[in-house]
Amino acid sequence: VGPVMIMSSGNVYALLSPEMTGHCVPNWANWPYDIHKCNITLGSKRYLGSTLNFKFHFDEKGLFMHFLLPDNEWEIIDISSSRNESRVGPDNDTDTKFMVTLDYQFTLRRHASVYVASYLIPGVVMMILSLGLLWIPSDKVERIAILCALMIIQPLYLQFLAYKIPSNGDTTPYLVCYYRDCLCLTGLLIVETLVTRSMASWTSDPPYLQSIFRFIAGNRVLQYLLISDIDPKNAAKLMESGNDEGSSLVATDQTQQWKLLIDIVNRSMFYLLVPVYLLLSVSLLPLNISFSII
């Protein structure tokens, strides 16, 4: 207890400097843009309201905020308070007794600038790298190097997030789910790369290979999406046809046909993963939602 002042009216004023712990309901789903609501209740378990009556002194919020020291990690975005009276004893008791409590609710928001630069932006860069490597031929060393780097970095980021984010919440943070799903997609890209690398040395000529080429050559949209950026010599083998467009295919070496199919598979994977990554980004990347008081 600090200085105590006794007025001539009999009122006693004391300056208290207590340290009180608020009870917060953890919600880490939108980390690092997480918002928490913490409650502090002031009251007496020993004295009733007739003996010790709590009232707000400064204003309707009951808080004097002019000497608030800003915190490096948290920002107070809203404060609400209420004075509650709880009846004690039976309802038919003529001698009404009640307990008084002052309830405060603080809404806190994390300062997230550092975490955005450390965790969010690298996640977007990894997504771009995963999509960009599909435009690199499967037999190139650069593609394997990027995949290996992603397989090392993404689990490390998951470990860093597990260390940084407390595990006492009821929901899994969206950012953890994002890195988890990106890691699964990276594993899929590794499998696709290994399969297409082995396809480059195949020399067989299965019937379905020609059927795939004829189907693509007979569709203008697929021609534009899948073979517009491929080697013109290989693309010509698909585009060349007689009166019935796409019905014939110039004879070529089986190995070249498999390489052409590999390019088509890589393009198809790219167009398949673009909406998948966009869906992950929209649904799982945390957003800085502005807080509004309803």
Q: How does pLDDT run across 139-189, given as a tens digit for each residue?
A: 889 999 999 999 999 999 999 998 888 877 778 899 999 999 999 999 999
CA gap 256, 142 in Å, rounded: 22
More confident residue, 26 or 47: 26
> Is residue 104 a contact partner of residue 81, using CB atoms and an 8 Å limit?
yes
Mean pLDDT of 55-70: 71
Q: What is the largest CA-CA distance in the chain?
A: 112
Q: Is the pTM of this model over 0.85?
A: no
Q: Which amino acid is at 153?
A: I
192-219 burial, b at 16+ Cβ within 10 Å, e below that, comes to: bbeebbeeeebeeeeeebeeebbebbee
The H or E element that residue 186 is part of is helix 174-199
* Sequence-distant (≥ 6) Cβ neighbours of residue 31 within 8 angstroms: 110, 115, 165, 173, 174, 175, 286
Residue range 193-208: average pLDDT?
77
| Region of poorest pLDDT, from 60-74, 148-162, 191-205, 234-248 | 234-248
Q: How far apart are CA 20 and CA 111, in angstroms?
A: 23
Cα separation of 201 and 294, whole Å? Answer: 65
Asked whether the beta carbons of 98 and 44 are under 8 A apart, the reply is no
Mean pLDDT confidence for 58-68: 69
Contact 64/58 with Cβ under 8 angstroms? yes
What's the pLDDT score for residue 125? 93
Q: With pLDDT > 70 as the criterion, what percentage of the chain qualifies?
A: 71
Q: Is the pLDDT assigned to residue 112 strictly greater than 80?
A: yes
The two tokens of residue 238 are 């698909």
Of the candidates 199, 196, 176, 177, the one whose C-alpha atom is nearest the C-alpha of residue 188 is 196
Is omega for the bond preceding 18 within 30 degrees of 0, making it cis?
no
Whether residue 101 contacts residue 42, with contact meaning beta carbons closer than 8 Å, is answered with yes
